[in-house]
Amino acid sequence: MPFIKIATQSDLPAVNQAKEFPCGDKTICVANVNGEISAMDNICLHRGGPLGQGVIEDGKVICPWHGWAWDPKTGEAGPLGAKVAVYPVKVEGGDVSVELE
């Protein structure tokens, strides 16, 4: 599947912040953990909370609704066995693109 532009580099979240971006018919959570950009589904599997509105603690995106901690590199939430989709991210020429599966 082709990469889809979701933002410009200047739109990316600041270091250790997360942000929501529309991408096709979904919303993607883009996380900036210590300068490394990751993209994953925006919907927390617990109660559907918006991960891109959460905060980053210890390298994890914390859901703002109930505090589930998601690893933006793997999409996994701790020992719970829960996992959201993670998408390849490409930053080229000032454009930020993700590849949906």
> 17-30, pLDDT tens digit by residue?
999 999 989 999 99
- Model confidence pLDDT, tens digit, residues 38-90: 999 999 999 999 999 999 999 999 999 999 999 999 999 977 789 999 999 99
Domains, the chain, ordered by start:
13-85 (2.102.10.10)
Tell if the pTM clears 0.85, that is, is over it: yes
* Residue 9: φ, ψ to 5°: -55, -35
What sign has the CA pseudo-torsion 36, 38, 43, 46?
A: negative
Other Cβ atoms within 10 Å of 27 Cβ, number: 16
- Most distant pair of Cα atoms in the chain: their distance: 38
